[in-house]
Amino acid sequence: MKIMQILLSQAEAGAETYFEKVATGFASDPDLEQQLIIEALPSREARLRNAGVDYRTLPMGIISKPLLYRFLLKRYVDAYSPDLIVTWVNRASRMCPPTDAVVVGRLGGYYDINNYRKCDHLIVNTPDLVRHVTENDWPADRVSMISNFGELPSALDVSDPLPQIPAGHKVLLTLGRLHQKKAQDTAIRALARIPDATLLIAGSGDLRKELEALARTEGVSDRVQFLGLRKDIRQLFQLADLCLFPSRFEPLGNVVLEAWATQTPLVAAASTGPAWLIEHGQTGLLFPIDDVDGCAAEVNRVLSDKQLAAELARHGAEKYQREFSEPVILSQYKKLFAELVAARRAGSLADSRS
């Protein structure tokens, strides 16, 4: 089967990172032939080359983009002639050129469904997103729920110097862009109630100065390290004693899956995705959104109880292997792709694009 995946984004956020992981997984599958279309972005291109992924780039120059972007997008699709195209995030789904291929839109957020009207089928990654798309008039028989996996492929690693941790300190790791939704402020405030611990914040964003000022106000600036955008996520998890995920709004939560995959004890705010994924007291600990005292209490509970920490890590890893590992998730993708392509060839999957 020939598949093409299209990502038209310059961001380095969760959806884009997961796109790279899926592409890397499919690149090593002998049953699939794959090609990507991406916007020119040297950092992404370097990772994909290292992972052995075949891709084509669209120009982003001031002159070349308006002249060649759409032309090359259509040319690449026509030249490759895929059986199925996966469009990632809104822009690729809106801009997918006319094609005989089955077009599958993949969305991991509560996006405007009008961005996906060129798609024959949708993949969403939580039950609540199934509700979202069907309540917005998307046919229930044209959407599939396939969650994410959390393995961190070594082929996508980028080596960065690891942070230095004070002697005797436990390491708390939180990951995500520096945005109000991600609630790093909750983690910083909680740290003032967590002794002998260093908080590593991996991510970039506009709130950095504000969060640095908060750390000073809370008296923990010497125990918070802002690492910026990082791609050495496996190494950071290896350094961590606990993963802290305080997000106020999270449809799924790749960080939960990554913590389970790396057998890292997990404490998370009970936003939509983590509350669906985590069984409190078994695969992680949950605290109410924005509850600083609750966050600190659950973190201290894990750090002070080695047996609890080990059990959370073990149960999380067991659930992960059963339900969310890379082989499990990619096999669900492949099964759906085969069914959709077979249906199109048999004439039972009509071209439903408007």
Q: Which secondary-structure segment (H or E) carries 148?
A: none
Residue given tokens 């492949």 in the structure block: 334
Question: What tens digit of pLDDT does each residue of 35-46 get?
Answer: 999 999 999 999
Predicted confidence (pLDDT) per residue in 273-319, tens digit? 999 999 999 999 999 999 999 999 999 999 999 999 999 999 999 99
Write out pLDDT tens, residues 235-276.
Answer: 999 999 999 999 999 999 999 999 999 999 999 999 999 999
- For domain 2-149+325-346, the CATH architecture is 3-Layer(aba) Sandwich (3.40)
CATH placement of domain 158-323? 3.40.50.2000
pLDDT at 352: 56
Domain boundaries, the chain: 2-149+325-346, 158-323
SS3 track for 87-102: EEHHHHHHHCCCCCCE
Task: Indicate whether 158 pLDDT > 80.
Answer: no
Q: Which helix (H) or strand (E) holds 302?
A: helix 292-303
Residue 16 and residue 90 in contact, taking contact as beta carbons nearer than 8 Å: no
Residue 350: its pLDDT value, please?
A: 66
Would you say residue 354 has pLDDT above 70? no
If you write DSSP's letter for every residue of 316-354 in order, what string do you get?
A: HHHHHHHHTSHHHHHHHHHHHHHHHHHHHHHT-S-----
pTM above 0.85, yes or no: yes
Q: How far apart are CA 317 and CA 242, in angstroms?
A: 14
202 membership: H or E segment, kind and range: strand 197-202
Residue with tokens 């094609």: 99
| Composition of the chain by helix, strand, coil, percent to 5 | 45, 20, 35
Write down the pLDDT at residue 151: 85
Q: Do 2-149+325-346 and 158-323 have matching folds?
A: yes
Q: For CA atoms 114, 117, 119, 123, give the dihedral sign.
A: positive
Distance CA 270, CA 285 (A): 9
